[in-house]
Chains A and B, each alone.
Chain A
């Protein structure tokens, strides 16, 4: 019995998760190389990874249908938590995203919210057998719009965009018509100028810098230019681990968090970057495979949502460092330093494993 359980676990998913975490440790050491606080960062990372692994095991062993059971409670709790940030949240680097938790430092409710909303949205959609009309998408749009607005006000534009991507992907897998989704996206594009007004100054500057990074090389465009120089100068095989000059000179701000991919690109080159993308792709392949073979709609939608979160993060984060996407402050899963994000990714992996273990026979 026990042996069968072990055989049924998706070891490829577990393996890629572990490899990504290991990649993250190397990148962290390299990003903080030469400063006195490496040991401190490693201790913190070890704590994050062990908590994450624990969460993964517990959630894998728990039936995902039981987790998704009280979805209204989860939803209410998530909204409450997001609202709480404005009341007792800490402001770090200009954004009110944190809640302090004594010895653990603090956590970002918006990170947890992504996973919780994937679950509640999937549960909400579970019963909807068909989505024949544009109008039928409305309740689900509302489901995501409320928390997304709260997150935009933090302000955390990136995470809000993640939620919209999740909404689109999950609706699509749930059976929404592609034409309807395209129509909503077009409407969103029309509404964008109004959203622009909702943005904070620094967000507007970042978007403007994305459109023309050379215009203000020492302001918002600075990080982008430095990031591209770091990655480009890595060439095919990189400058060697710990030998990146851009990182050593600390040209790149927040290099162990949002810009951690620059370390990989500069020190390990194209080979290292493609290897890392390959690991993410393998992880996503397994996640989507789990979605495709899930026993029920709930499992399929939850797996789709989790896969979308990770895919969006990787594409937007790496896209940002190579100048394909605006600088939005979205972490690279399992590589960027940040306890809540790492914990959430592990938890998502645990839920995927749980769905996989309970997949439909023969799938």
Chain B
């Protein structure tokens, strides 16, 4: 052994002793820390708890075009629970649910869902009245893990005005959470309207408060603070006064109104009825209110101007008329004999009245079905489809609102696909007066009327006008999106159509829309539909010589466009008269 022991062996052994000594030193240190002082360290660890509180960012203010605030924020209190601090959920539910006035099962299931993320507070009720806040604070020691936090909530200064355009907030869903990693559960985000479309600008960025708390969860000391960044403000093209008049016109009915500058696409009013109070959603909507809104057969949450499609009825005669004029099958002087019906093979198509002998202008003014049937029969479905699409029907307008419907422009191929039937000549007749398969949204009709008014150009309707930084400096201004005419429209064709539309308001079906001293062109519609009484439409623009405003009024089951929709349009034209400058509605800047 000794012969084989290498010379360095003793030195290695001594090195081993050094290592052993160092380990012994550490072990001794562990002994003092854990065995001797352990109890006091344990006490420190229990008292020494740090919590992160989120400071929610106030959302940006929303203004109308003249700088009137429509949506701001007001301070409120929210009651939340930190799941990790709750050791007896059943007891907490039993004592807290009655204080907050929420159902026990609901609170229990929310707590359960929050267990997956023990550090994130689960917000049980937002916008809590002060009396509840005081009760919670008084009973704080019986309510471990409960925190009361201040947070700004949305305040709708004009009540339900513009509810569908503004939209409402809602708690982020699990699905949305996956798509937006920066958000946390319980965050309120824009769910509809511009609140959703411009959420990225409006939402700001939450801050963080790191606080040391004692065993009872009371803050002891502030550790660090990252302030919240307020959201950017949004100036809309909406004009609060016109919006008010539009909503007054629709009150008590179902329907929609769109008021737009056809040159820029600026939307001055966008109303849908029945409406709702977006303030209900400010502090997270109560389940009872949500049930009431979603089971209401009037569908108050539906934005009828954008998300729903309807038969356009006689408003579609704008397409038929323009196609006939454009294809040289009609001129303003062309004469038609209206006997009150049209024979097509074995079928007789009946009109409401026999108009006798009339020219294109008069036929348009009185909305003579027989004239448009015969024009449609000459044109055929392909031309009707081409002109309808050329005027932007059958496709979304690109308005800056979520959930826009595309509508439907039928064709022979479409009918074969959808119905398994060939296209019949009778289908063409129906289509030429906007019945049958054609479906449009009110905002599409507004864009179509705008195209007629401006010479065929299609604009994307826009609610958003400018984005302002919290200090008021402009961040972004949205330029109008205009597509050039999709159809080669002969000036003469447009001219005759416009003349016909003026005759509608001056001595035809739309006289109820007339405003003395203002040249208005338009078209009424009474659209038969399978769900009951016909829908009432009025779609027009003014001034006829230099169009600056398009007004579309749609009243669901309103029966006669000329009697129900046209007067609402008149009120809007009248109110907008001072705005009808030759410049694109520049108006007052906020």
Contact = CB atoms under 8 A, between A and B. Distances in A.
Interface string A19-36: 000000000000000100
Interface stretch (B21-29, B535-543, B577-585): B21-29
A232 B6 contact: no
Contact of A233 (B6, B23, B44): B44
Interface in B8-33: 8-9, 11-13, 15-16, 19-20, 22-23, 25-27, 29-31, 33
A273 B23 CA distance: 11
Contacts, number: 137
Q: Specify which of A169, A249, A307 lies most central, judged by the most chain B CB atoms within 10 Å of its CB.
A: A249
A175 B8 contact: yes
Given A173-B8, A274-B30, 20 more contacts: A173-B12, A175-B7, A175-B11, A229-B41, A229-B44, A229-B48, A245-B45, A248-B84, A248-B118, A249-B50, A270-B35, A277-B30, A281-B19, A291-B8, A293-B9, A297-B8, A311-B19, A311-B22, A324-B26, A361-B4
Contacts of A360: 4, 6
Interface string A301-344: 00010011001001100110011100000000000000000000
Nearest to A322: B29
A314 B35 CA distance: 21
Interface string A236-267: 10000000011011010000000000000110
A300 B119 CA distance: 53
Chain B interface helix/strand/loop/mixed: helix
Q: Specify which of B34, B37, B223 lies most central, judged by the most chain A CB atoms within 10 Å of its CB.
A: B34
Interface in A156-182: 169, 172-175
A265 B38 CA distance: 11
The 7 A-B residue pairs whose C-beta atoms are closest, nearest first, are A232-B41, A235-B38, A233-B45, A233-B42, A270-B34, A292-B12, A233-B41
Nearest to A246: B45
B12 A235 contact: no
Q: Specify which of B5, B11, B46, B118 lies most central, judged by the most chain A CB atoms within 10 Å of its CB.
A: B11
Contacts of B6: 292-294, 300, 360, 363
Contacts of A236: 34-35, 38
A314 B118 CA distance: 34
A281 B15 contact: no
Contact of B27 (A175, A277, A291): A277
Nearest to A301: B8
A180 B154 CA distance: 77
Contacts of A292: 6, 8-9, 12-13
B32 to A, nearest CB: 9
B126 to A, nearest CB: 26
Given A173-B15, A297-B8, A274 B33 contact: no
A284 B40 CA distance: 34
B41 A172 contact: no
Interface size class of B (residues with CB under 8 A): 35 or more
A248 to B, nearest CB: 7
Contacts of B25: 324
A358 interface: no
Given A172-B11, A245-B45, A233 B38 contact: yes
Interface in B214-250: 223-224
A235 B40 CA distance: 10
Nearest to A319: B26
A228 B41 CA distance: 8
A147 interface: no
A126 to B, nearest CB: 12
Given A251-B48, A273-B30, A360-B4, A300 B42 contact: no
B336 to A, nearest CB: 73
19 contacts: A175-B7, A229-B44, A232-B38, A235-B34, A235-B41, A248-B118, A249-B49, A270-B38, A273-B30, A280-B23, A285-B16, A288-B13, A288-B16, A291-B8, A292-B13, A293-B9, A311-B22, A322-B26, A322-B30
A218 B35 CA distance: 27
B487 interface: no
A288 B12 contact: yes
Contact of B8 (A280, A284, A300): A300
A287 to B, nearest CB: 9
B546 interface: no
A232 B12 contact: no
B39 interface: yes
A221 interface: no
A269 B12 CA distance: 32
Contacts of A229: 41, 44-45, 48
A362 interface: yes
A119 interface: no
A172 B26 contact: no
A213 interface: no
Given A233-B44, A315-B23, A300 B12 contact: yes
B26 A169 contact: no
A311 B16 CA distance: 10
Contact of B30 (A218, A231, A294): A231
A228 B6 CA distance: 43
B19 A265 contact: no
B26 A277 contact: yes
Interface in B75-119: 84, 118-119
Contact of A363 (B4, B31, B40): B4
Contacts of B12: 173, 288, 291-292, 300, 304
A109 interface: no
A169 B26 CA distance: 20
B11 A265 contact: no
Contact of A218 (B37, B41, B223): B223
A273 B26 CA distance: 10
Contacts of A234: 34, 38
Contacts of A246: 45
Given A34-B118, A173-B15, A248-B84, A273 B8 contact: no
B23 A277 contact: yes
A230 interface: yes
A178 to B, nearest CB: 9
Contacts of A235: 34-35, 38-39, 41-42
Contacts of A251: 48, 50
Given A236-B34, A270-B30, A324-B29, A174 B8 contact: yes
A173 B42 contact: no
Interface in B43-77: 44-46, 48-50
Contact of B33 (A34, A218, A231, A311): A231
A157 B90 CA distance: 53
Contacts of B46: 233, 245
Q: Specify which of B7, B23, B118, B223 lies most central, judged by the most chain A CB atoms within 10 Å of its CB.
A: B23
B49 A322 contact: no
Q: Specify which of B12, B23, B118 lies most central, judged by the most chain A CB atoms within 10 Å of its CB.
A: B12
A231 B39 CA distance: 11
Contacts of B44: 229, 232-233
B11 A173 contact: yes
Contacts of A323: 29
Nearest to B10: A292
B25 to A, nearest CB: 7
Contacts of A230: 45
Nearest to A308: B15
B139 to A, nearest CB: 25
A243 to B, nearest CB: 12
A361 B3 CA distance: 11
A173 B13 CA distance: 10
A296 to B, nearest CB: 8
Contacts of A274: 27, 30
